[in-house]
Structure 1
């Protein structure tokens, strides 16, 4: 198997793997009792969250690379090149009661791009919390929680958009 074939297999599994691991981390996060540091008395849930989060962070970085390869970043982050006309067109359509369609550089793609950014911010702040000096750890923990809550909101919106996407198959 060539490196390209291996990457294609990994690429195909990134979205479901990130989804499942993110849901596991979110659903078990209320059982995590970490303050400043991971201690030697850490529970199973603490260890699962830290090392599952590390794995999810690595997969999130790979997912971001996948999204950005071959110029695809222009679809998810069109505002970086000031190509915001499709986004504003979708927003105006929403105000007139028209639902946006998938593809292109419109609202749905921009929301998906923001989800990638939020996922990376959750991973980065989680890693920073883990490696931070204990005097700064709680600050990074607070940032991690803020971005995690934002990412949970994104997951809800993403699921609703996926249901909206089903409408495209029937129209």
Structure 2
């Protein structure tokens, strides 16, 4: 199988797989007791979180590549090209009681872009926490938890937006 064909098969599954893995990591995170490093007294859940987290980090990087390739980054990050009109139009619509539609470069796409950024921040801080010296690990653990909590908020918002997206099919 050629690389392009393999990538196309993986690409289709990235969004649900990343979401599933993230939810698995979030749901099991209360049992994580790692402070500074993964030591000899680490539990099954500590090892699970670290190694499933590393796998999820790889998936997250591939997902980011997918959503940003071929110029798609402009849809999720229109503010990088100073394109604010669709976002402002959606926000004006909200003030008038109109829900934004998915797609384009409006509010929903910008929120999804913020989710990608939060996901990458969780990946980066988790990786650095794993790699740094024990003296600096607790600081990075704190950053990792902070960005993970932000990402949890994003997931809740993302689910709400997905329900709004279903509305588009019926209108």
TM-score range, shorter chain: over 0.9
**Counterpart check, 1:27 vs 2:35:** no
**Structure 2 equivalent of residue 15 of structure 1:** 15
Q: Which residue of 2 aligns with 1:143?
A: 143
Does residue 108 of the first structure (1) align with residue 84 of the second (2)?
Answer: no
Unaligned 5+ residue runs, structure 2? none
Q: Unaligned stretches of 5+ in structure 1?
A: none
* 1:65 and 2:68 matched: no
> Equivalents in 2 of 1:31, 1:125: separation in Å?
19
Aligned length: 171
Partners of 1:79 and 1:9 in 2: CA distance: 31
Residues 102-158 of structure 1: CA deviation (Å, up to 9, x unaligned) = 110000000001101100100100010011111110000000000000000000000
Find the aligned partners of 1:133 and 1:2 in 2 and give their Cα distance: 41
- Taking structure 2 as the reference length, the TM-score comes to 0.99
* Structure 2 Cα separation of the partners of residues 2 and 149 of structure 1: 39
**Structure-2 residue corresponding to 1:88:** 88
Q: Which residue is equivalent to 2:46?
A: 46
**Partner Cα separation in structure 2 for residue 43 and residue 12 of structure 1:** 34
Structure 1 counterpart of 2:160 = 160
Task: Name the counterpart of 2:170.
Answer: 170
